[in-house]
Amino acid sequence: MNRFQYLTLFLLCSLPRISFAQDQPQPSAQQPESIRVSVDRVNVGVVVTDAQGHFVEGLQREDFQLLDNGSEQPITGFSAIEEPAQVLLLIEAGPAVYLLESGHIRAAHALLDGLSSGDRVAVVKYDQRPQAILDFTPDKGTVSAALEELRFNLGFGSLNLSSSLATVLDWLSQVQGKKTIVLLSSGVDTSPANEVGVIFQRLKTSEVRVLAISLTGGLRTPEPPSGKKGVPPKPSATTQQFDQADQFLKQLAESTGGRAYFPKSTKDFSAVYAQISQLVRHEYSLAFAPPNHDRAIHSIDVHISPQPNSNSAPNTPAPTYRIDHRQAYVAPAP
């Protein structure tokens, strides 16, 4: 049995449970106790990049528009921060990782090389539950050694992604400062359905950003050609399952204002890690006072309307930016 067949068999056994993620159930009336709120201000970290993926510097408070449930709010706090990052590497310890022969782990050195000396990194792996490998440390040599010592499972164990993320969020609630989870995963999730639904609400209202990296890109095979000219081939069941897993990772990341990446080679992994090393450090920090104290989930939206530049030529089109930020928060009690 080759690698592709092995992973296909694993996905066929696991993927039926992923379908729960597509029907994200509404949260219960009682919010998880681990969600923390501030009674006087809501903090929103905003990452702004240009068409080339570079962080956009030099924006000012007046360039931003912040909306709570569609209603514009005064921005009471603003800063363009480049502060030490706290990055938790959450790595799937299942067959998909094993079959990559740790190529993505070797490429992770691009992330460590791109981080600043003050940035702290922790390492956690997960299958049925998360297992802490290394606590936060600024010593990149220690992190590198921990990555080299990771061992992955070849058997058909559980991959409880949602429940593992929930546990990690509990751990991070005790950590101060700007926090990012760099998730290396196939997107397979065997967590109970109720936990899959709850994790999206927790991530949406959390200040933790998730940057997800798919581990299945290099394990896919091209679709066979169609028998009729001009007729695209019908996607195989395996392709649909891969696509479903990709969509799940994308939803997880974007619910936090993060991003999902789908590298196919060690070179691609290196490029992704290099970009992530910049994103985890740079962001604009916006704050506003919650307009209502109703304990409800409020949506957050941020827009940018850059002020005219006196040095720009007339009729110069406005630049196109990508804006990533948390999607919601839980309002305080009355």
HEC string of 63-129 equals HEEEEECCEEECCCEEEEEECCCEEEEEEECCHHHHHCCCHHHHHCHHHHHHCCCCCEEEEEEECCC
Q: CA–CA separation, 44 vs 9, rounded Å?
A: 42
Please check whether residue 34 lies inside any domain of the structure: no
- Give yes or no: residues 136 and 150 share one domain: yes
Residue 139 sits in a domain of what CATH number? 3.40.50.410
Whether the CB-CB separation of 47 and 55 falls below 8 Å is answered with yes
- Give yes or no: residues 59 and 200 share one domain: no
Query: With the CA atoms of 184, 259, 36 and 124 taken in that order, what torsion angle do they form, in degrees rounded to the nearest 10?
Result: 10
Give the pLDDT of residue 229.
Answer: 57
- Give yes or no: residues 264 and 323 share one domain: no
- Give yes or no: residues 124 and 249 share one domain: yes
- Give yes or no: residues 130 and 168 share one domain: yes
Please check whether residue 216 lies inside any domain of the structure: yes
List CB contacts of 253: < 8 A, sequence separation 6 or more. Answer: 183, 210, 211, 212, 259, 260
Q: CA–CA separation, 244 vs 222, rounded Å?
A: 17
Beta carbons within 10 angstroms of residue 277's beta carbon: 20
- Give yes or no: residues 251 and 146 share one domain: yes
Q: 179-185 and 209-214: which strand pairing?
A: parallel
Domain enclosing residue 325, as ranges? 42-81+282-309+318-330
For 132-151, how does the pLDDT look when each residue is reduced to its tens digit (9 = 90+)? Answer: 999 999 999 999 999 888 87
Please check whether residue 50 lies inside any domain of the structure: yes
Among 94, 96, 252, CA closest to 158: 94
Give the pLDDT of residue 122.
Answer: 95
Q: CA–CA separation, 242 vs 247, rounded Å?
A: 9
- Give yes or no: residues 69 and 194 share one domain: no
Which residues in the chain land under pLDDT 50? 4, 6, 12, 15-39, 235, 310
Give the pLDDT of residue 208.
Answer: 92
| Chain position carrying tokens 């993505």 | 104
- Give yes or no: residues 68 and 168 share one domain: no
Whether the CB-CB separation of 76 and 41 falls below 8 Å is answered with yes
For 287-309, how does the pLDDT look when each residue is reduced to its tens digit (9 = 90+)? Answer: 999 999 998 889 999 999 865 55
The packing angle between helices 193-204 and 237-254, to 10°, is 40
Number of independent structural domains in the chain: 2
- Give yes or no: residues 256 and 289 share one domain: no
| Chain position carrying tokens 């510097």 | 57
- Give yes or no: residues 115 and 203 share one domain: yes
- Give yes or no: residues 181 and 264 share one domain: yes
Give the pLDDT of residue 17.
Answer: 41
Give the pLDDT of residue 31.
Answer: 42
3-state SS assignment for residue 64 = strand
Among 68, 32, 113, CA closest to 299: 68
The packing angle between helices 237-254 and 3-14, to 10°, is 70
Please check whether residue 233 lies inside any domain of the structure: no
For 49-83, how does the pLDDT look when each residue is reduced to its tens digit (9 = 90+)? Answer: 888 777 888 899 999 999 999 999 999 999 887 67
Q: CA–CA separation, 334 vs 329, rounded Å?
A: 15
pTM of the model as a whole? 0.74
Please check whether residue 231 lies inside any domain of the structure: no
Give the pLDDT of residue 124.
Answer: 94
- Give yes or no: residues 124 and 180 share one domain: yes
